[in-house]
């Protein structure tokens, strides 16, 4: 199996998560906003995914600002992502996505899929 890349994209309204192994989607989720989660929720979720697949994850945080990332507790005071036995976090600046379409179901994840392909080894 190929290494797993997880893209986490928090906004003020919600947090989208996409886990991929190469071109294959493993998980797609739309969760509540980062401002309303327990401080250990994000790291526990990532550890659980890592344990489920029995391999460390490559995690990409994709947010508009440090203020939105802060409640997730996945970065240090300087804005760099943490590295643990279960996951290694990279912070990527969010760029506006052109041609965004209306959400259907839990939403359009093309932007996260494109980002996952760009950062995969």
Q: Do residues 17 and 6 touch, judged by C-beta distance below 8 A?
A: yes
Fold of 4-119: Nucleotidyltransferase; domain 5 (3.30.420)
pLDDT, position 49: 96
- What share of the chain has pLDDT > 90, as a percent? 51
Q: Where are the domains of the chain?
A: 4-119
pLDDT at 20 over 60: yes
pLDDT at 70 over 90: no
pTM for the whole structure = 0.76
- Reported as a single tens digit per residue, the pLDDT across 73-115 is 998 888 888 899 999 999 887 655 444 433 345 677 788 888 8
Q: Do residues 60 and 9 touch, judged by C-beta distance below 8 A?
A: no
- Comparing 9-13, 56-60, 113-117, which segment has the lowest mean pLDDT? 113-117
d(CA 23, CA 98): 23
Q: CA distances (Å), 100 to each of 8, 44, 46, in order?
A: 18, 31, 27
pLDDT at 26 over 60: yes
């Amino acid at each position: 199996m190929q290494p797993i890349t997880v893209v986490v994209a928090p906004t003020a309204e919600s947090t989208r998560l996409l886990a991929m192994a190469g071109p294959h989607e493993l998980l797609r989720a739309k969760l509540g906003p980062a401002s309303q989660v327990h401080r250990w929720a994000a790291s526990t979720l990532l550890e659980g995914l890592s344990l489920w697949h029995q391999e460390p994850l490559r995690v990409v945080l994709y947010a508009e600002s440090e203020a939105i990332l802060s409640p997730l507790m996945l970065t240090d005071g300087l804005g760099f992502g943490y590295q643990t036995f279960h996951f290694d976090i990279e912070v990527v600046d969010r760029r506006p996505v052109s041609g965004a379409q209306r959400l259907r179901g839990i939403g359009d994840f093309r932007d996260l899929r494109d980002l996952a392909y760009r950062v995969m080894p």
